[in-house]
Amino acid sequence: MLAILKPGNMINGLRTAGLVLAIVVIAAFVQSQHDSFLGINNLTTLLRSMVALAMIAFAQKLIILLGEIDLSVGSVYGLTSITMATLWLGGGALPFTLPLIPALLVSLAIAAFVGLLNGWFVVKARLPSFIVTLGMLNVAEGLQLLISNAQTFTPAYSDPAPPEWELSIFKAIGQAPLLWNIPSATLWLVASFLLFWFIRHRTVFGFRLAAIGGNAEAARIARLPIVKYKLLVFLISGLMAGLAGIVDFSYVGSVGPRQAGSLQFSVVAAVVIGGASLAGGRGTIVGTLLGAILLSLLTNGLALMGVGSFAQLLFIGIVTIGAVWLDQGSQILIRRAAQRSAAKREAKSE
């Protein structure tokens, strides 16, 4: 009971409640402006649009929990799907092709390697993660253009066409309809949420990540394996970005270079809106999911109301800045409450 009443827990609870309230209010407003918003077709579109965002954001949450950041995820998302398409369908700059499953596994291995490489530069070369991943963003985008010869790949219309059984497996990854025509990509979202919730909130690994991000010096004194943990989390980030890219490739049915757009910034925005501190040490997977829902809801609602894509980016940027501002304010409140509690304890001891 006392743990629930701690200032930090109360602030986190209020933040989560505020996110839920914001989602409900925005949904009600958009529905009042556009009757089809809560229709099954639009809700399916909304759900599908947040799959990649949320999957990558869950892994980004672990990165930010450590006090680091990964800006390369959007480009790794694109590089993985482009590599898979080129290996499987041919027609790009690669001199050979592979069947679907090997092409998929090789592409995921490349995504994991890029993540691991990011981690190596951060922990071994001691470079800031912001600079490392910003550089890797450009490297991965350049590789997309190089590997694909700047062309778009569509398996259903490829020449020569892949075997039917491979096309069936490819569609099953993210495109196969489930109940109410909800795409199978949704299963990846649910599985990712459950996995990362368990890692963050029910494992020693998750608690240690928060400890490292909250106080790196204390973590060193406690001899926590900081280097190993950071390498592993960056690898996970790359792998999840790659997996999300393949799931989206399956759902959309085609892929081209630089298709991710500003996905990496939306991912960071979802994590921050969800209550994570960019300084590290704090945040929940539920908050990250709510942040992804809120962002997807805003994008979908603004599009339905005829707001242009540029204005959508402007609005989302304002929301992100507001979330960081509120985060800083809540941290000040937590520190003041902790100082008052400490002062009261000292007064009682005297």
18 inside domain: no
What is residue 6's predicted lDDT score, i.e. its pLDDT?
54
CA distance 40 to 331: 40
What is residue 209's predicted lDDT score, i.e. its pLDDT?
95
Q: What is the mean pLDDT of each run of 10 residues along the chain (350 residues)?
A: 51 78 90 86 87 96 95 96 95 89 98 98 95 96 93 88 93 86 90 97 94 91 94 98 96 87 88 84 90 92 82 80 74 72 71
25 inside domain: no
Domain ranges, residue 204:
36-151+163-335
7 inside domain: no
Closest CA relative to residue 254, chosen from 345, 340, 155: 155
177 backbone dihedrals φ, ψ, rounded to 5°: -75, 135
CATH number, domain containing residue 321: 1.10.3470
What is residue 4's predicted lDDT score, i.e. its pLDDT?
45
Statement: the pTM of the whole predicted model exceeds 0.85: yes
273 inside domain: yes
19 inside domain: no
Are the C-beta atoms of residues 58 and 65 closer than 8 Å to each other? no
pLDDT in tens, 276-316: 877 777 889 999 999 999 999 988 988 888 877 777 788 87
How large is the angle between the packed helices 100-123 and 164-174, nearest 10 degrees? 40
110 inside domain: yes
CA distance 50 to 298: 11
Which tokens in the block code for residue 256? Answer: 């081209």
Are the C-beta atoms of residues 156 and 167 closer than 8 Å to each other? yes
DSSP 180: G
Q: Measured at the alpha carbon of residue 230, what is the angle toward residues 229 and 231, in degrees to the nearest 5?
A: 90
5 inside domain: no
Q: Is the peptide bond before 95 cis (omega within 30 degrees of 0)?
A: no
What is residue 241's predicted lDDT score, i.e. its pLDDT?
97
What is residue 350's predicted lDDT score, i.e. its pLDDT?
63
Closest CA relative to residue 69, chosen from 327, 268, 295: 268
Which tokens in the block code for residue 122? Answer: 């951060």
CA distance 160 to 304: 39
296 inside domain: yes
Give the CB-side neighbour count of residue 301, counting CA atoms within 13 A: 20
CA distance 339 to 274: 26
What value does the CA radius of gyration of the chain take, rounded to a whole number of Å?
A: 22
CA distance 168 to 163: 9
Other Cβ atoms closer than 10 A to 232: 17
pLDDT in tens, 212-270: 998 989 999 999 999 999 999 999 999 999 999 999 999 999 999 878 778 898 999 99
Are the C-beta atoms of residues 292 and 54 closer than 8 Å to each other? yes
Q: How many domains does the chain have?
A: 1
SS3 72: coil
Which tokens in the block code for residue 228? Answer: 């190993």
